[in-house]
Amino acid sequence: MSTRASDLSLGEQVGAVRTGSVTAEDLATQVRRAIELREPELGAWVCLSSTTAEQARAVDRGLGSAPLAGLSVGVKDLIDVAGMPTRAGSTVTSPNAVGTDAACVSRLRSLGAIVQGKTVTTEFGYFTPGPTRNPHALDHTPGGSSSGSAAAVAAGTVPLALGTQTAGSLTRPASYCGAAGMVLAHGTTDMSGITGLSESLDSLGLLTRSVADLRFVHNVFGHGRSEVPASEPVTRGLVWNAGALHPVEPPMSALLAHVPALLEEIGVKAEPLDWDDHVQTLSEDHVTVMSYEAARARAHEFDEHAGALSAPIRDLLENGRRIAGTEYAAALTRRDRSRELLDAILVSAPIIVGPAALGPAPFGLSATGSPILSRPWQLLGLPVVVVPGARTSSGLPLGLQIVGLPGHEDRLLDVGEKLEVLLRELPEIAA
């Protein structure tokens, strides 16, 4: 077995541990070395676990046949990990270690995964950036708020990381950094032990190096096994170019021009999504819902530590307190009606393919980019798969997002896996 077993796909890593070609401890040690090598320039980690070797030895003793045996995972610092603090990217949170794992972390451990540490997030998952840099261009943003998780995975230092999404917190950094990402449908995952911002919007997410890896871990995480029965193939899909919601940048526009032909190549007839009015309203209502709920979810921090909060999160909470309950309720009503209409549309064309971000990662580290292209789908609570592979002529990644209905995640992953192969074969797109 190569000394770089950690560079293999997730399934191959698990297979190597199961067959004894490499021990979980050796695999975890390889990952830690890769993390330490890149971390001085990357800044993706808040803290690293001191018990990684101990965790790995436990896997070697008793979980060697587990579905995720020996896989290393990074955990976004909004998610509790026993023995480590959850600072949520803020100075106002407790520096003391928490006593128990979040439900999602406990689930991964039970499947044989090993926690390498906590990854950087923006303050309470909002806009204030942390120290993380984009692995493909250190002077460009990695996005937010799952910036540390996306950058660590895309840099090849850890094969799997947990993120969360409230607006575009996972899709945007996945697109900017060139990672595969998946936002799990709202309400399908136990969110206990996760510091939230908006109960109606907060969702768990996964980040890996490829959509094939994403499919592997999603199958195990959701179904307990690496293989699930094949779904009915997708033969029709909708292409969304962001329409009137927001103009995309020239490189992303050029990539979108390829999408219909790429879908046709994998057997999916492409048709345009004509839904601009709903998308615009959903985007606006997303802001209303997030602001209203955040003001209540983080009321303690605002009341006790307002002066120590960063300006973006403070403004969000202040705005949320000014939103009337009737305005909030109306936004939820419009959301529900739009969801009913979209459900009907997706019966015959079960996927929507569109831009995961406005363009490549912007230059500079003082902002995290716009989440606007994720807002409508996040308000609807839909699962999303981010497909990497395309690049600009300057080497910056461009990601596509595939949106569908809960219960049809395997279709999104199937199309995403095939689409990634074609995206990686595309010529570089002029920046």
d(CA 196, CA 235) in angstroms, rounded, equals: 37
- Let me know: does 371 contact 125? Beta carbons within 8 Å: no
193-218 burial by CB neighbour count: b if 16+ within 10 A, else e? bbbbbbebbbbbbbbbbbbbbbbbbb
Structure tokens at 418: 């095939």
Contact residues for 311 (Cβ-Cβ < 8 A; gap 6+): 128
End-to-end Cα distance, the chain: 40
Residue 8: CA count within 13 A, CB half-sphere? 20
Q: Which residues are catalytic?
A: 76, 145, 169
Query: What one-character-per-residue DSSP string does 73-138 give?
Result: EEEETTB--TTS---TT-SSS--SPPSS--HHHHHHHHTT-EEEEEE---GGGSS---S--BTTBT
Q: Measured between alpha carbons, how far is 419 from 400 in angstroms, rounded to an integer?
A: 9
H helices present in 201-324, as ranges: 211-223, 250-265, 276-297, 299-305, 311-322
Q: What span, in angstroms and rounded, lies between the C-alpha atoms of 78 and 100?
A: 14
Residue 164 and residue 103: Cα distance in Å, rounded?
Answer: 14
Q: Which of 63, 69, 70 is nearest to 29 (CA)?
A: 70
